[in-house]
């Protein structure tokens, strides 16, 4: 991996070689972003012929326009993200688990994309539950190990000190947030570029926060938020007596965020309206899962507002409406079509480009307001 290579060439024997730059997280972030973008930008079209064709989503305005286009592109760009991250940063069971389970979430979506009739809702719900529960257990264990008193804590605005959370409650919160993030992101994937652009905003926000704020001891201390760090073993015999570095989770998560941002940008090059390829459930489910994991590892579950407010409103209210109608026979928001982007197109005459730009602008403004409140009112 390039990080270890940078550490090795940073020793006295190789201190003048440029390869030592790979020990710098800022360099790894740039490599992750550009390598992800260029790889997907130029290689994705070569895989169109291997991808399934879109069947057209039921109850969406664009189902006829999308029908027949290659879909499931998430299988390619999520795999590129996993490979890049593996090459760029040291892995432990937490970051390795994130990569593996993100890929598994992608795989369930891809197999559904390839299925002629599509998988049933309950099968997908069960698979979601298995994957998000596994992630919740891994994260709970890792955060307890990283805590000096074996306690998991959340930090919130208006609270000076972090709040201890029982293990069982943390696992339940994690399962709920990951499930919501996966399914609302999936529901938002109905206008060319919309879901992936909104997630891209969230990835960049989280990448910056992990690198500059939550991964930096002095800045985190000044803002009175916990530093995101996972203490690991030293990096091997080459560094005995010289560098016994912990695995700094904040910086590593930043590299992962920008790696995913890079591959999403490469995909958007081909998915901008009018799209030539669709990411399908393979892409949307993996994106929703990963952004949810980032939110939880930030230590503040309300950070989902900074990354996914529009996604949750756009897709989440529709899920709530259907669930209340199906299980409790309660009707709400009867005059509003969901996902909300279909309502704006059908009832207000917005074009797909207007939906994309206006939803993205609103999310950026919400994100800036949320970040200002969360980090300054402590």
pLDDT of residue 236: 36
Q: Is 160 exposed, middle or buried (0-12, 13-18, 19+ CB in 10 A)?
A: exposed
The pLDDT assigned to 23 comes to: 67
Q: Tell me the C-alpha distance between 197 and 177, whole Å.
A: 20
pTM: 0.89
C-alpha separations of 372 from 61, 157, 261, 295 in Å: 37, 10, 23, 16
| Tokens found for residue 6 | 């940078």
> H helices of the chain, where?
2-8, 25-43, 63-66, 74-88, 93-114, 121-146, 167-188, 194-208, 217-222, 249-271, 280-297, 304-311, 317-323, 340-348, 352-376
> What average pLDDT does this structure show over 218-224?
82
Phi, psi of 272 (to 5 degrees): -65, 145
Q: What CA–CA distance (Å, rounded) separates 193 from 359?
A: 11
What gap in Å lies between CA 190 and CA 183, rounded to an integer? Answer: 13
Between 336 and 126, the higher pLDDT residue: 126
Higher-confidence residue of 239 and 135: namely 135
For 112-146, give the secondary structure using H, E and C. HHHCCCCCCHHHHHHHHHHHHHHHHHHHHHHHHHH
CB atoms within 10 A of CB 212: 13
- List, for residues 11-39, the tens digit of each pLDDT value: 554 455 565 666 678 888 999 999 999 99
Is residue 238 predicted with pLDDT exceeding 70? no
Q: How far apart are CA 243 and CA 70, in angstroms?
A: 49
168-188 pLDDT tens trace: 999 999 999 999 999 999 988
pLDDT exceeds cutoff 80 at 139: yes
pLDDT grade for 84, boundaries at 50, 70 and 90 = very high
What pLDDT, on a 0 to 100 scale, did the predictor assign at position 241? 36
Tokens of 328: 């409790």
**pLDDT score of 2:** 60
pLDDT of 142 strictly over 80 = yes
Mean pLDDT taken over the chain: 84
pLDDT at 237: 36
Residue 347 token pair = 């009832």
**For a pLDDT cut of 90, what percent of the chain falls above it?**
51
- Please give the Cα distance from 82 to 103 (Å, whole number): 7
């Amino acid at each position: 991996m390039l990080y270890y290579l940078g550490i090795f060439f940073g020793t006295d024997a190789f201190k003048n070689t440029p390869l030592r730059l790979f020990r710098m997280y800022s360099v790894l972030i740039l490599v992750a972003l550009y390598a992800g973008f260029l790889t997907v930008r130029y290689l994705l079209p070569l895989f169109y012929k291997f991808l399934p064709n879109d069947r057209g989503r039921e109850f969406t305005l664009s189902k006829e326009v999308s029908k027949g286009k290659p879909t499931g592109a998430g299988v390619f760009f999520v795999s590129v993200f996993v490979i890049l991250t593996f090459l760029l940063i040291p892995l432990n069971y937490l970051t390795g688990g994130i990569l593996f389970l993100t890929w598994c979430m992608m795989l369930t979506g891809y197999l559904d994309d390839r299925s002629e009739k599509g998988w049933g809702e309950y099968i997908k719900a069960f698979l979601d539950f298995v994957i998000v529960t596994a992630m919740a257990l891994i994260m709970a264990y890792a955060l307890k190990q990283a805590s000096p008193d074996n306690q998991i804590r959340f930090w919130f605005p208006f609270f000076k000190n972090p709040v201890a959370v029982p293990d069982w409650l943390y696992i339940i919160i994690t399962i709920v947030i990951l499930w919501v993030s996966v399914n609302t992101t999936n529901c938002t994937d109905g206008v060319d570029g919309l879901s992936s652009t909104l997630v891209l905003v969230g990835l960049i926000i989280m990448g910056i926060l992990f690198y500059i704020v939550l991964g930096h001891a002095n800045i985190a201390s000044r803002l009175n938020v916990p530093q995101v760090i996972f203490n690991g073993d030293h990096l091997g015999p080459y560094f005995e007596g010289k560098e016994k570095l912990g695995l700094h989770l904040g910086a590593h998560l930043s590299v992962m965020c920008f790696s995913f941002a890079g591959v999403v940008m490469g995909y958007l090059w081909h998915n901008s309206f009018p799209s030539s390829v669709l990411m399908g459930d393979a892409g949307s489910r993996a994106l929703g899962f990963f952004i949810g994991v980032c939110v939880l590892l930030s230590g503040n579950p309300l950070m989902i507002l900074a990354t996914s407010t529009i996604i949750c409103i756009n897709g989440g209210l529709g899920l709530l409406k259907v669930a209340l109608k199906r299980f409790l026979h309660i009707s709400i928001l009867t005059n509003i079509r969901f996902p909300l982007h279909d309502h704006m197109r059908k009832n207000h005459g917005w074009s797909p480009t207007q939906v994309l730009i206006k939803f993205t602008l609103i999310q950026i403004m919400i994100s800036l307001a949320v970040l200002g409140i969360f980090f300054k009112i402590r």
